[in-house]
Amino acid sequence: MSARIRKAIFPVGGLGTRFLPATKAMPKEMLPVVDKPLIQYAVEEAISAGIEHFIFVTGHGKTAIEDHFDTNPHLEILLKKEGKTDLLNFLKNCTLDSGKISYIRQSEPKGLGHAVWCARDLVAGEPFAVLLPDDLFHCKVPCLKQMVDEYPKTAGNLVAVEDVPQDQTSRYGILSIATDDGKLIRVNGMVEKPSIQDAPSCSAIVGRYILSPEIFSELDKQKTGAKGEIQLTDAMAATLDRVPFHGMRFQGKRFDCGNKIGFLMANIEYALDRADISEEFKKALKNLSF
Ligand code: G1P
């Protein structure tokens, strides 16, 4: 029987240079899609998948994330006085219980594998999830919940998969496929950011993982790979001989909010999906001239 997934790592140490100057003094994970920061979407997804402990791997200039998930007594008093219960409830939704949230500092940007390794003592010994907040999943059943539901069948390592255009393989970890039933892929290899020529398929790892703690035996070696960084994909590949590895095509849509177009598209999609503003927004969009 596979273990329950109780803990999740959120690597939030990245600089967000693609969104400068917006991210000069603000973490990129705090960029809002409509009115909610990216990081909150990821945390809500984790909560709906049953995650109980939230581990943020942070870096310089990221304290706004800590404040966001904490109480704000001044604001609460003010909203209570003004009788704004809806807004008060929004605030409550982004306060995580004391003791359920940990912050670990990644002092140097050495890559995703290194960020996950920084949290090793907090997750040691049990399988855990990793959520990359740049990847925003718009799904009826939240993406990580879909994976947690599938995990009893696979155990080992399980990653979310999206088939990407051939000319985009160099942006992703790409899977080499042993068997594929349309939903679950049994994987026999993977390459981080391969060129079109070197890509073993077009099935890309997208930002949701369930990982076996065995990954730390590889990450401990601190081996560097693509871009001179310690790559999570390389560490996963190195455990293929002893940990079963599957990819799962999720049901829904993913927005790459690490780039401007993906981020803008996410804002449009989420706004059109919001009962309180969608009609007005549609009218406003029609008035735009292209
Ligand atoms: C990271 C991973 C890559 C994965 C991608 C998904 O890359 O290293 O394997 O495909 O996230 O978004 P990054 O986007 O941090 O360069």
pLDDT in tens, the chain (290 residues): 467 999 999 999 988 889 999 999 999 999 999 999 999 999 999 999 999 999 999 998 899 999 999 888 888 899 889 888 888 888 887 788 888 999 999 988 899 999 999 999 999 789 999 999 999 999 999 999 999 999 999 999 999 999 999 999 999 999 999 999 999 999 999 999 999 999 999 999 999 999 999 999 999 999 999 889 999 999 999 999 999 999 999 999 999 999 999 999 999 999 999 999 999 999 999 988 77
| Tokens, residue 146 | 């879909």
Question: How much is the pLDDT for 144?
Answer: 98
The DSSP output letter for 176 is: E
In CATH terms, is domain 7-286 a member of 3.90.550.10? yes
Distance from residue 207's CA to the centre of ligand 1 (Å): 7
Q: Is the CB of 162 under 6 A from ligand 1?
A: no
State pTM to two decimals: 0.95
Give whole-number Cα distances, 11 to 55, 260, 285, in Å.
8, 20, 35
Among protein residues, the one whose CA lies closest to atom 10 of ligand 1: 172
Quote the CA–CA distance of 123 and 7 in Å, as a whole number: 7
Mutate to test the pocket of ligand 1, among 12, 112, 176, 256 (most ligand atoms within 8 A of CB): 112
Question: How much is the pLDDT for 186?
Answer: 96
Q: Which residue has 């500092």 as its token pair?
A: 105
Question: How much is the pLDDT for 94?
Answer: 79
Mutate to test the pocket of ligand 1, among 205, 257, 259 (most ligand atoms within 8 A of CB): 205
Domain-by-domain residue ranges, the chain? 7-286
Question: How much is the pLDDT for 2?
Answer: 60
Beta strands (DSSP E) in 216-282 are 245-249, 253-256
